[in-house]
Structure formats: C-alpha cells, structure tokens
Structure 1
Amino acid sequence: MSSPVLRPGPRNSITDVAGVLVGQAEDAGLASGVTAILFEHPAVASVDVRGGGPGTRETDLLAPEKTIEKIDALAFSGGSAFGLDAAAGVMAALAEQGRGFAVGPARVPIVPGAILFDLTNGGNKDWGRFPPYRDLGYRAATAARRDVALGSVGAGLGARTATLKGGLGAASAVLPEHGPTIGALAVVNALGSATVGQSARFWAAPFEMQAEFGGLGAEPELDPKDWFSPAKPVAGANTTLALVATDARLTKTEAKALAVMAQDGLARALIPCHTPLDGDVVFAAATGHFELDGDRLGMLAVLGHVAAMTLARAVARGVYEATALPFPGAQPAWRDRFG
C-alpha cells in the first residue's frame, strides 16, 4: 500500500466532512461553554474512552453490539458533571426539527455527550439551583453551521493544559485521488502539555500542514526534563474530548476501530496522555457519502492512521488559537507567551 499524500480540506476543519455542522455557545462570566456537533442526517458512530476520569452520557449505546446504530448529534461541554445537561438542550433543538429515532409515533434525538472539568478556572460558577448548560446546549445546536471558530470558544472557553491555556481545535485531511475526507475536532483540557517543555514547539509538529500552528517544526533535541510538567494534578480535573469524522460509509464496528486508532492522535500531541487523572474520550462518526472499494481492511487502516494524525493537528491548533481568560492569575495562552 503506497503512502497517501494528504492535504487539508478547504476549511481545514471537521466540517469539510460532508454532513457535519458545528455550533458553539459560551458564557464569558461563567468561563465555560458548549460545543454541539450536528449531523445533517443520522451518522453511524462509536466511541473509545481512555483515562481514569471520564464523564459521559449515552456512550454505552455506541458499542458495536448495541441496537442504536446512528446518532443525530454530539454535545461537548464544560462544567464537569453539571455539563451533562448540555445534551438535553441539543435534544430540544433537534426535537423542534422533528429529528430523532422513531419509536412508534414518538421521535427521540440520539445525542451522546462528554464533559470536561473547568470549575476552578476563575469563572463565576454560582449559578443557583440549575446549571446553565441545557440552555447553552440549545443555543449551540441552533447556531450550528460549517464555519468553526477555534481557540477559547464553546466547550473550549475554560479549558487548560499543564502549561498553557487549552481550547478547541479542528483540522481535516483529504486522501488523494478523490478519496474520502477525515476531519477532527478536539477540546483540549489535558493534564499533559501540547508543547515541548517551556518551548513554543508542539509535540504534533511532525504532522503539521501549511503552518497551521506556527510552522516552527519539531524540537531538534529533546531534554528528558521536558517530558512531564503537570501544573494541577487533580483527579478528574483533566479531559480532552474529541470527534473524528469521515464521509466514508462505515459499519458501527468499523467506526469503533476508527475511534480506537484515532486515540493515538492524542498520545502524539499531548505528553503525558491517558493518565489516571484524565478522562479522554474520542468519538468516531461516518456520514456515509463515500463508498469504500477494494481492500476494505487496508482502507480502514489508512483512515485510522490519517484520523490519528488529523486529531493530533486539531489538538495543537486548539492550544495555538486559544486566548487567556480575563481573570487574575489566569493561565497564559500560547500567543501571550510566544506571540
């Protein structure tokens, strides 16, 4: 199998995959938000969960042997477990459109979700009886479109890493000869670091396309002291949420394999990764616009490999595009430190 020559899609975003839309909503005072990924038609999906502190909703139904094969949307949210309410808001928006799994005359929108911990980032979390994430989820879903803002937006508004402000990143890659497209979206709130030690260079540098996160290249020589510098090792307080999507037609079992391979993208972009203090979650979705021909297993292996590289790029872009929160002592952003 020859090595494919890749290029980013026209937006270099997950919405280069046909049938994928992204909406975002945030609250600046709260320093938290929601990102909703909507599929124009139900998409085959699965998930791979790593690390010791995940927070998820309806991921069990994405196992290959479960009855439900397709989903309508995904909800990524800040707020720790409070943020699981975001999926209810996305469901409400889809229900207004008549979307959902048909059960007799009723329709139930299928919206799995995952959350990250941002409760100690300086924002005002004194929200009263009910957290605001259901309303933020509704707003994010109704704002879904193809243009995707990056950095400190949506679920990435309050995100942090070990050394620099985290955020939301996206990237895409198109296989040659009119091949399928792979897109990735990542909300980076990791225990580990996306950059090498105290330098400006990203661990994901070998996979960078078109100077999308500075074009600085890889670190010429690594010092072991740069391998691990966690800032706040708090159990359950660190999570990177991600989706890789493709326009290829996949089965649910193949989508599971794609999610498993894509997790390697987090390990290539964040050091360390998948720790007992992280709750990393990678969803995979297939919108089915492109039929795979020939060596199907070989093609799936290529898709998974490209998904991992694309996800690594999305992680770096999330940190590269982030801006610092406007609070005393807030974590600096990459652009603040390296400009």
Structure 2
Amino acid sequence: MRNLITDVSGVRVGQAEDLALGSGVTAIVFDRPAVASVDVRGGAPGTRETDLLQPERLVEAVDAIVLSGGSAFGLDAAAGAMACLAEAGRGFAVGPMRVPIVPAAILFDLLNGGDKAWGRYPPYRDLGFEATRAAGADFALGTAGAGTGATTATWKGGLGSASARAGGFTVGAIVAVNALGSATVADGPHFWAAPWEQADEFGGLGLPQPFPADAHRPQTKSRRLENTTIALVATDAVLTKAQARHLAVMAQDGLARALHPVHTPLDGDTVFAAATGHRPLADPVHDMIAIGSAAAATLARACARAVHEARPLPQPGSQPAWRDRFVGG
C-alpha cells in the first residue's frame, strides 16, 4: 500500500504543472472504463460531463477523470486528456469512432501571482495531455498537479491522496484542496481530520488540548472568490452507477471532516466516485456501508495530506506552507 489512490486496482495518476504559471492538472486514468458518478455540493462549481454521470444517463463508464486549476479555462484540460486517450484507441464506441469519456472539475487559482498572460489559448489542453500521458502508480503530493496553485484560508493548499482497506475492498481518494476555509484548527498546526489519521501521515499531532476557544470561528480567505475543493474516491468493488452516486454522497462527509467551513456559496466542492470492478459485492447493503464509510475517512485524510505536503509557490508574496511554519522547511 502506497497510501495513494493508485492502491486501487486499475487506477493510474499523472500530473503536469507549471510553477511560473502557478497552476497544473491531475489526470486519473482507468486501465479499463470504470463505472462513475458525482456529487456536487458547493455553490460555485466548474465541471464538464457531470450530467452524463447521473444514473439514468446512457454511458455507464468513463476512461479518465481530470482535476485542473485554471477556473473555466482549466476545463480545456479534459480535451487534452481525450486527445491522449484517443491516440491510444480508448473511448466509447460510436460506429467506427471512439470517443473517450473524460469528466472534469476545476478550481480557481487565477489570482495566486503566477503568470496567466498566456495569449490566445490557455495551456491547459497541453497540460491535460501531458498529465494523461504520464499516468502511473506513483505521483507527487502537495504543490503538484491540480493542487499547484491551490490555497486555503490559512496555509498553502495542494494535492493530497490516501487509501485504506474496507471489508476486503480497497478504497482510495485524491483531492485538490483549494478551500475558502481552513484545514487546520484556529491558528495552530492541528488538522481537523486528526481523528482519522493513520500512521502519523500528516504529523501525528492529534487535536489540540485544550481546544482553542475560537476554534469554531470560521476562517476564510480575504479574497473570497479563489476557491473550490475537487476530489475523486475510487474502489475496486463492482458497483452500479446508482451505487457509485451514493458512494460520492457518502464521501462528501470527508470534506466536512477536514475543512471548515465547507460547501459554501463561494466553493464549488465536487466529489467524483469510480469503481474499477475487480471485486463483486457479497452483501450490497453492508458492503456499501463499509466502502462509503472508508471513502469519507480516506478523503478527510487526503485533504490533510494535501496541506501537510504543500510548498509555497516561487512568486513573491505567495501563501506560506504549513511545513514552513511548523516543521521549518
């Protein structure tokens, strides 16, 4: 177990970023089409092909899911992923043509000091192609991929991942944390997700003792439009689209455990869920409870790891990182 979403059989991850741009792309590629759905809770989402993921829609499975910076410009990253997959012969068969199915979600990182003067065409199509082509078992956390330009109310945001076993199944999560709120309690080093931490993966600090009197006072960004946390949870179970949809619903609790406040009108919080279909359910009800519970806990852990592993961008005045303040670099 790498403690990454790629511990789920049939899942690979690739990333591409540009530190001068202050943005990047993460592509989650499935070895074979995976059943998928989505749950959107934030008030300001930016998405592509999410209607297709509703249980009643025609297409049952997707080839990849893309998470990107760049706000609406970043939706171009899915086109780059499609181009890469089409070159490999992947996609939904329509007569002699194959159309890769690539849902996507974006976060807002346009005001983080990076060079966004890209001219007529934004770079996200090329970044999406590069990220998809680079897909493999290992990938960087923190200031990488879709988390490159991410921020939170207190510390630099980033890209996080985690995995777990649940009743014979493997569950993994990947997330780009760019929240209006904070992943840490008040002004200290302790993560809201501490009760679900495993093996000191984000410092092993637990919750603060005593709990700060102002801990529940919402901390939010001063420039409040630069938000949205986007994520995918995956399992090796065999699920229907309706079951994948409910998995995404349960997994949203992971954001609520790790970020405060969350699902605000200024966030576009979106969680995809995918099933690679390697292990059938023995008991559809109780197995789904186990998988969904693990998905929420794993996503909470991934959120904390995103902030724990992040490094500042090289631009002057960029947001400081948790590691710089509490570990010393």
Q: Determine if the TM-score, normalized by the shorter chain, exceeds 0.5.
A: yes
Aligned counterpart, 1:335: 323
In structure 2, C-alpha distance between the alignment counterparts of 1:35 and 1:124, rounded to whole Å = 20
In structure 2, C-alpha distance between the alignment counterparts of 1:251 and 1:175, rounded to whole Å = 18
**Among 89, 93, 105, the residue aligned to 1:114:** 105
Query: CA offsets per residue over residues 113-168 of structure 1, 9 Å max, x none?
Result: 00000000000000000000000000000000000210000111000000000000
Root-mean-square deviation (CA, aligned residues, Å) is: 0.9
**Among 224, 230, 233, the residue aligned to 2:220:** 230
Q: Is 1:43 the counterpart of 2:29 in the alignment?
A: no
Displacement of 1:224 in angstroms is 4.5
In structure 1, C-alpha distance between the alignment counterparts of 2:247 and 2:271, rounded to whole Å = 10
Q: What letter matches 1:335 in structure 2?
A: R
In structure 2, C-alpha distance between the alignment counterparts of 1:232 and 1:13, rounded to whole Å = 32
Aligned counterpart, 1:276: 265
Q: Alignment identity in percent?
A: 67
Q: Is 1:68 the counterpart of 2:59 in the alignment?
A: yes
**Among 140, 156, 163, the residue aligned to 1:149:** 140
**Among 326, 329, 336, the residue aligned to 2:314:** 326
Q: Is 1:213 the counterpart of 2:202 in the alignment?
A: yes
Alignment of 1:158-169 (within 5 A): 158-169=149-160
In structure 2, C-alpha distance between the alignment counterparts of 1:306 and 1:244, rounded to whole Å = 10
Displacement of 1:220 in angstroms is 2.5
Aligned counterpart, 2:275: 286
Q: Counterpart of 2:214 in 1: which secondary structure?
A: helix
Q: What letter matches 1:259 in structure 2?
A: A
In structure 1, C-alpha distance between the alignment counterparts of 2:233 and 2:99, rounded to whole Å = 24
Q: Is 1:303 the counterpart of 2:298 in the alignment?
A: no
**Among 21, 28, 34, the residue aligned to 2:12:** 21
Q: Counterpart of 1:225 in 2: which secondary structure?
A: coil
In structure 2, C-alpha distance between the alignment counterparts of 1:224 and 1:82, rounded to whole Å = 41
TM-score normalised by length of structure 2: 0.98
Displacement of 1:66 in angstroms is 0.5
Contact map agreement 1:191 1:232 (CA 8 A) in 2: no
Q: Is 1:79 the counterpart of 2:70 in the alignment?
A: yes
Aligned counterpart, 1:3: none
Query: CA offsets per residue over residues 95-127 of structure 1, 9 Å max, x none?
Result: 000000000111000000000000000000000
Aligned counterpart, 1:4: none
Q: What letter matches 1:337 in structure 2?
A: R
Q: What letter matches 1:306 in structure 2?
A: A
Q: Counterpart of 1:239 in 2: which secondary structure?
A: coil
**Among 72, 75, 87, the residue aligned to 1:96:** 87
Q: Counterpart of 2:325 in 1: which secondary structure?
A: helix
**Among 253, 277, 295, the residue aligned to 1:264:** 253
In structure 2, C-alpha distance between the alignment counterparts of 1:187 and 1:99, rounded to whole Å = 26
**Among 4, 11, 32, the residue aligned to 2:2:** 11
Contact map agreement 2:166 2:290 (CA 8 A) in 1: no
Q: Counterpart of 2:150 in 1: which secondary structure?
A: coil
**Among 91, 96, 99, the residue aligned to 1:105:** 96
Query: CA offsets per residue over residues 38-60 of structure 1, 9 Å max, x none?
Result: 00000000000011110000000
Contact map agreement 1:31 1:121 (CA 8 A) in 2: yes
**Among 176, 179, 186, the residue aligned to 1:190:** 179
TM-score normalised by length of structure 1: 0.95
Q: Is 1:134 the counterpart of 2:122 in the alignment?
A: no
Contact map agreement 2:20 2:314 (CA 8 A) in 1: no
